[in-house]
């Protein structure tokens, strides 16, 4: 028996979405091409750059958010040393954890 704890960064939602989409495409439920009547008849316009203007208050909120994120990440223990030791323990030894 092996017990590992999920982290906030494990990517499970993204993995599930990818599996769902690939399964749908493979089963023919999600078409890769639009039907002929749904295709655009004119070329797409060139993209335009969107400029965001932030006032002093918004800049302060962004900096506060960055500091909060850094503080949260500093609390995380992302060390994986010892994981290989866990992979090779018996079920009886695992019960102690």
* Model confidence pTM above 0.75: no
3-state secondary structure of 24: helix
Q: How far is CA 97 from the centre of its chain?
A: 29
Instruction: Report the C-alpha gap between 8 and 14 in whole angstroms.
Output: 12
Write the pLDDT tens digit of every residue in 1-34: 444 455 455 667 788 888 899 999 999 898 888 8
Contact 94, 3 (CB under 8 A): yes
Instruction: Report the C-alpha gap between 95 and 35 in whole angstroms.
Output: 57
- Kindly tell me the burial class for residue 10, based on how many C-beta atoms sit within 10 Å of its own C-beta (0-12, 13-18, 19 or more): exposed
């Amino acid at each position: 028996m092996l017990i590992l704890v999920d982290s906030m960064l494990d990517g499970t939602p993204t993995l599930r979405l990818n599996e769902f989409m690939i399964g749908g495409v493979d089963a023919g439920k999600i078409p890769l091409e639009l039907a002929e009547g749904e295709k655009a008849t004119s070329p797409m316009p060139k993209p335009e750059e969107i400029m965001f203007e932030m006032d002093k208050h918004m800049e302060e909120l962004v900096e506060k958010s960055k500091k909060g994120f850094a503080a949260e990440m500093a609390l995380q223990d992302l060390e994986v040393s010892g994981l290989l030791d866990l992979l090779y323990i018996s079920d009886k030894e695992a019960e102690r954890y």
